[in-house]
């Protein structure tokens, strides 16, 4: 996530994140750096994404963020829904979905500690920001069994 010095009200600030799944149904998460005061939700597992630059649309922002954070490019990006990060940044976050079949250990992670795929059955034990957990649960509820 690029730090921006432009002052934007949390009520109008926007962000974009991607729920990325592989063919086994596992979701790609990354462990955020433990930097309280510098990043929202330090030391939490989250999906990749970040804030929109001024004037940037959400689809462009998520493509940029995936590349900047993990050198990741996906072809099947689909916009899902929006959720506000009420207990963190205050941003309205657009959730996208995509698939990727690569080896997460080879991603050149520019932010965070490490990326890892998790099966949905393992998500309950992870420390995940509430709005991200809500988004993941909404996404999982719409997937075919």
**What predicted TM-score, i.e. pTM, was given to this entire model?**
0.88
| Percent of the residues in the chain that have a pLDDT greater than 70, as a whole number | 92
pLDDT in tens, 67-76: 999 999 998 9
Which pLDDT does position 10 carry in this prediction? 53
Q: For residue 40, what pLDDT band results from cuts at 50, 70 and 90? A: confident
Domain 14-142 homologous superfamily, CATH: Nucleoside Triphosphate Pyrophosphohydrolase (3.90.79.10)
Q: Kindly report the CA angle at 74 between 10 and 140, in degrees rounded to 5? A: 65
What residue spans define the domains of the chain? Answer: 14-142
Q: What is the average pLDDT across 136-141? A: 97
């Amino acid at each position: 996530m690029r730090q921006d010095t432009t002052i934007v009200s949390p009520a109008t600030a926007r962000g974009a994140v991607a729920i990325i799944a592989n063919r086994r149904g596992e979701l790609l998460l990354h462990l955020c750096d433990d930097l309280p005061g510098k990043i929202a939700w330090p030391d939490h597992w989250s999906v990749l994404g970040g804030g929109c630059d001024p004037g940037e649309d959400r689809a462009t922002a998520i493509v940029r963020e995936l590349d900047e954070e993990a050198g990741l490019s996906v072809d099947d990006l689909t916009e899902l829904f929006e959720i506000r990060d009420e207990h963190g940044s205050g941003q309205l976050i657009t959730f996208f979905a995509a698939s990727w079949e690569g080896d997460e250990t080879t991603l050149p992670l520019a932010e965070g500690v490490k990326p890892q795929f998790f099966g949905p059955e393992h998500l309950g034990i992870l420390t995940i920001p509430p709005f991200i957990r809500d988004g993941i649960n909404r996404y999982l509820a719409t997937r075919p069994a």
